[in-house]
Amino acid sequence: MKKAFLSFIVGCIVFTTSAQTSITLNTDLAKTQINKHIYGHFAEHLGRCIYGGIYVGEGNTKIPNTAGVRNDVIKALKDLKIPNLRWPGGCFADTYQWKDGIGPKANRPKMVNVWWGGVTEDNSFGTHDFLDLCERIGAEPYLAGNVGSGSVKDLSDWVTYVSHPGGSPMSELRKQNGREKPWNVKLWGVGNEAWGCGGNMTAEYYANIYRQYATFMTDWDNTSQIFRIASGASDGDYAWTETLMKNIPHKMLAGVALHHYSVISWTDKGPSIDFNEGHYFKIMQEAWQMDEFIKGHSTIMDKYDPQKKVALIVDEWGGWYSVEPGTNPGFLYQQNTMRDAMIAGLTLNIFNNHADRVRGANLAQIVNVLQSVILTNEEKMLLTPTYHVMKMYNVHQDAMLVPISIESPSYEYQGKKLTAVSASASKDASGALNISLTNIDYSKPHEVTINLRGEDFSKISGQILSSAKINDHNTFEQPNKVAVKDFSGAKLEKGVLKLTIPAYSVIVLNVKK
């Protein structure tokens, strides 16, 4: 009797400290490809992202480098399988004069970065440096053109300089500067945040400007297939998206951008490390809003483009907090904790599940700025929790999205509720199934049951990113405090997967036939 009573008590404890999540995957109905460009990144001339983060100078003997770019960063980015990298901004893009960043470095004029810290830059990292970096890491370059303060000719010349095979003044100038073959850049942003730092334009005015600039971004032989991306809305500005979709001919519009940051408030962003549950819940609310914004903008795009030919490109997203104490407020340097891993896992699940319209995205930013995947300090470098999530999830790149239905309990805080567990799934070219799960609950583990319908599977493996505290992060003294580990807690029997996902953790499962 005592033993039975004890078992009853233990059962009650388990029931009250974990929650049930039910997922159904129709594994034989995968029809939509998850575009690899959803896993893109963003490198702006901001703080220590470029100088000191990526580029340390060709004469640097203290930090191993290739043509001035850190070797440890090159390796980390190659391992991450970055599909595209956006540069040079951001707000910086609409002040950048690309011709100042080519030719002999000793002859390049200096400039003042008026947007970020008022620092003087020597233009030693320019077009060749960036495009060569992209080649080294296997990423497609995504160039953001200067529409705010540049001219149509400036942007047209840049397109010619990097992509024309030869015979034009710009292609010959490229050859004089040491590059014979063109880079054939396909991804182009026509300005950035035109509603704000890119010129404070109205949507109607920008639509006309876009048409003008896009016209002269020439695709000479129809082989380079320039992919033009319009400066899109911030958050829920649906009127901006409607104006662009209505007023820009879709034959010159490949993508429309969307920017959304997870921020507590723009006046008090809160700490990046010593946050409390109130801070955490607000950030998770903002991260979940990405789903709402994508649905809203997609609905408008469907109205004008029911065949979904125009892509939604979320080319700025991530967590934004107050800078680390004692650092330049214009440099936007912040630490990266398990909270950021939750933003990444949740957001990537959202992108995957909207793969029919979302076909590109860029996490802000790649090194030492905002939600970075890499932090550096002189010769030291570390990988953040966000890096680990992005690497775990790269199994979804170009895989086929598996339709999913999910019923998850709520994560509750002071009477407010959020869905606790998010998930997405895909099938790769070999037929293997990859399932990504993120539990944002601040304190509760969740029992997960996954019904695999349509096909039979027999083998399972997995990885988990978890830690003892939600505030845990990697430092230069403890660079591996938060690290990926093998996960063997999932059991597969008769087409049903069962596992428990701890609070604030990310799991990716690989299931084979």
Provide the H-helix boundaries in 60-166: 71-80, 127-137, 152-163
In angstroms, the CA 89 to CA 42 distance is 8
Nearest C-alpha neighbor of 159 from the set 91, 231, 251, 227 = 227
Write the DSSP symbol of residue 335: -
In angstroms, the CA 120 to CA 181 distance is 32
Q: Indicate if 172 belongs to the active site.
A: no
Catalytically annotated residue among 193, 324, 378, 493: 193
H-helix or E-strand spanning residue 475:
none
Q: What angle do CA 367, 260, 266 make, to 5 degrees?
A: 85
Give me the DSSP letters along 398-415: TPEEPPEEEE-PEEEETT
Encoded tokens for 438: 């993120």
Q: Indicate if 193 belongs to the active site.
A: yes
Encoded tokens for 382: 């570390």
Q: What separation in angstroms does the CA of 512 have from each of 427, 429, 457, 462, 494?
A: 10, 12, 5, 11, 14
Secondary structure (H, E, C), 423-465: EEEEECCCCCEEEEEEECCCCCCEEEEEEEECCCCCEEEEEEE
Instruction: Show which residues are catalytic.
Output: 193, 316
